[in-house]
């Protein structure tokens, strides 16, 4: 077994996470994050002591469960998606995982329209799991939303699921270039899933 295969088996999905995965397969149109990606989200949320987090792309709730499990007790996850059925399923699995209803704020709408309504510097973590072509815009939004010491995370940062050579050659390098060029950020790119890019916003 290679090291990445071992990493993939290290994180175990329990019943609520497996339910979220089955729901995603039944509904179609959304792909749950891989367990090793979820474990990394949980770790990063715990490492920054997250009380508040924003998720762009609710899906069927698997990433939300991982994030909430890493956040401080009573932490609140604000998660945005355009599909009401995804959010309905996510709400169910959050409850199934033992989280109170006031620990998740599910907002139906386009992230481009929702994020400007969220408060500046009020969040410990921002997780983006959406169309990689929009990631540069979401990076700008995340830097406004995060407190100093907060972390922004991009799933599928290598753009492997865009199905477009143009996207892989243009949009994704733009994101990584923006992150590396920003002196406010301390970043890393992990070979998990289709690339997990994370960056910490330095304290002033």
Q: How far apart are CA 121 and CA 141, in angstroms?
A: 11
Collapsed DSSP state (helix, strand, coil) of residue 128: strand
Q: Please state the pTM of the whole predicted model.
A: 0.90
State yes or no: pLDDT of 50 exceeds 60. yes
Predicted confidence at residue 1, as pLDDT, reads 60
* Three-state SS sequence of 96-114: HCCCCHHHEEEEECCHHHH
Confidence band, pLDDT 50/70/90 cuts, at residue 164? very low
Highest mean pLDDT among 8-22, 109-123, 172-186: 109-123
The number of C-alpha atoms within 13 Å of 154 and in the hemisphere containing its C-beta is 28
Tens-digit pLDDT profile for residues 74-85: 999 999 999 999
Phi, psi of 54 (to 5 degrees): -120, 135
CATH T-level assignment (fold) for domain 3-201: Rossmann fold (3.40.50)
């Amino acid at each position: 077994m290679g090291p990445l295969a071992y990493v993939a088996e290290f994180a175990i999905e329990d019943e609520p996470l497996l339910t979220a995965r089955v729901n995603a397969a039944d509904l179609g149109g959304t792909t749950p994050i891989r367990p090793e990606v979820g474990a990394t989200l949980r770790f990063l949320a715990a490492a920054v002591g997250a009380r508040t987090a924003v998720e762009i792309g609710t899906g069927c709730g698997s990433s939300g469960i991982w994030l909430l499990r890493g956040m401080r007790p009573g932490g609140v996850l604000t998660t945005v998606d355009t599909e009401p059925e995804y959010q309905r399923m996510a709400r169910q699995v959050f409850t199934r995982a033992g989280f109170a209803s006031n620990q998740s704020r599910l907002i139906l709408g386009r992230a481009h329209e929702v994020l400007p309504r969220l408060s500046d510097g009020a969040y410990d973590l921002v997780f983006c799991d959406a169309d990689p072509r929009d990631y540069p815009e979401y990076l700008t939004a995340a830097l406004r939303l995060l407190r100093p010491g907060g972390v922004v995370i991009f799933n599928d940062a290598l753009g492997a699921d865009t199905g477009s050579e143009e996207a892989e050659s243009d949009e994704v390098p733009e994101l990584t270039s923006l992150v590396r060029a920003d002196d406010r950020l301390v970043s890393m790119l992990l070979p998990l899933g289709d690339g997990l890019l994370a960056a910490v916003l330095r304290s002033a």
